Amino acid sequence: MDVDISGARVLFTLPIDLPILGELAVSETIVVSWLVLLILTGLCLWLTHDLKVEKISKRQAVAEMLVELANNFVVGNMGEKFRYFVPFVAALFATGVCSNLISLFGLRSPTADLDTELAWAVIVFILITRQKIKTSGLGGYLLDFTKPIPILAPFNVLSEIATPIGMSFRHFGNILSGVVINTLLYGALALASSKLLGLIPGVVGAVLSQIPILDVGIPAILSFYFDWLSGLLQPLIFSMLTVMFIANAAEE
């Protein structure tokens, strides 16, 4: 019984010669990400076509509710002047949820690859730094590192770098731990059912032991926690932290 836990498979490589990276490898992560983007684009188009002012359809009511939720989330946490962050935070959240839940269809979720989260976190980090420089100027931003005493400057730099690393690892670790534990559980249950049914003598046992009967149902309980709960919670935390960090950067 082999249990295979591996990273995202490389599906094909593009024969482009990049300066440092060499050939461009297109992995499962990228292809599934395209699928996620397609789904989200389709959903947006379907939700927003044919909008009316009066006698709205159920579809429009759902769309309005979602937009209202995103508005309340961002404006409630950041204040009215950051209303232009609503599309960004909503896109981050929607991409996160869709990427996590796509594992329910048997695909490898793009968020089980650190690259995806690290890309998001780097974008957020750039936004935070931009906001800090905007509020206190470049000199003020650099001076902030020497507070409260100049000798702590290296630690301040470290804590600044720890922000994107912490944000991306939190999301990545939660999703990947789900993938690893689910794979181990499927392998263990398949082994257990083949050994149990192999106890039946004769041809019947030999045939039945090929079918991993115990794999039906039992993993669904764990999948509820790992796919649904952390799949919905982690994007929420990611966007919550984004909102909080940017709002904090604007306060100083």
Partner 1 sequence: MEFLAKGIALAGCALGAGIALIAGVGPGIGEGQAVASALEAIGRQPECKGDVTSTMILGCALAETTGIYGFVTGLLLIFVAPGMFTGLLG
Residue 176 in contact with partner 1, rule: CB under 8 A = yes
Residue 244 in contact with partner 1, rule: CB under 8 A = no
Residue 174 in contact with partner 1, rule: CB under 8 A = yes
Residue holding tokens 């048997």? Answer: 106
- Minimum CB separation of residue 10 from partner 1 in Å reads 16
What token pair was written down for 124?
Answer: 């957020």
- In the chain the beta strands, taken as DSSP E runs, fall at 10-18, 22-27
Residue 78 in contact with partner 1, rule: CB under 8 A = no
- Minimum CB separation of residue 232 from partner 1 in Å reads 10
- Minimum CB separation of residue 171 from partner 1 in Å reads 9
- Minimum CB separation of residue 140 from partner 1 in Å reads 29
Given candidates 13, 48, 177, 248, which one binds partner 1 under the rule CB under 8 A? 177
Given candidates 22, 42, 137, 166, which one binds partner 1 under the rule CB under 8 A? 166
Compute the distance between CA of residue 22 and CA of residue 40 in angstroms, rounded to an integer. 31
Closest CA to 214 of 196, 226, 234, 230: 196
Task: Write the Ramachandran bin of 22: left for phi over 0, alpha for psi from -120 to 50, otherwise beta.
Answer: left
* Binding-site string for partner 1 from residue 15 to residue 34, where x marks contact by CB under 8 A and - marks none: --------------------
> Which residue, 132 or 171, is less far from partner 1 as judged by CB?
171
Stretch 199-238 residues interacting with partner 1 (CB under 8 A) = 230, 233-234, 236-237
Closest CA to 47 of 58, 33, 31: 58
Residue 71 in contact with partner 1, rule: CB under 8 A = no
Angle 86-101/28-48 helices, nearest 10 degrees? 120
- The number of beta carbons lying within 10 Å of the beta carbon of residue 159 is 12
Compute the distance between CA of residue 108 and CA of residue 233 in angstroms, rounded to an integer. 19
- Minimum CB separation of residue 243 from partner 1 in Å reads 13
Asked if 103 and 223 count as a contact pair (C-beta separation under 8 A), the reply is no
Residue 169 in contact with partner 1, rule: CB under 8 A = yes
- Minimum CB separation of residue 202 from partner 1 in Å reads 41
Site stretch for partner 1 (CB under 8 A), options 137-145, 147-155, 168-176, 211-219? 168-176
Closest CA to 182 of 224, 223, 233: 223
Handedness of CA 47, 50, 53, 56 (dihedral sign): negative
- Minimum CB separation of residue 172 from partner 1 in Å reads 7
Residue 184 in contact with partner 1, rule: CB under 8 A = no
List of residues contacting partner 1 (CB under 8 A): 5, 7, 166, 169-170, 172-174, 176-177, 180, 230, 233-234, 236-237, 240
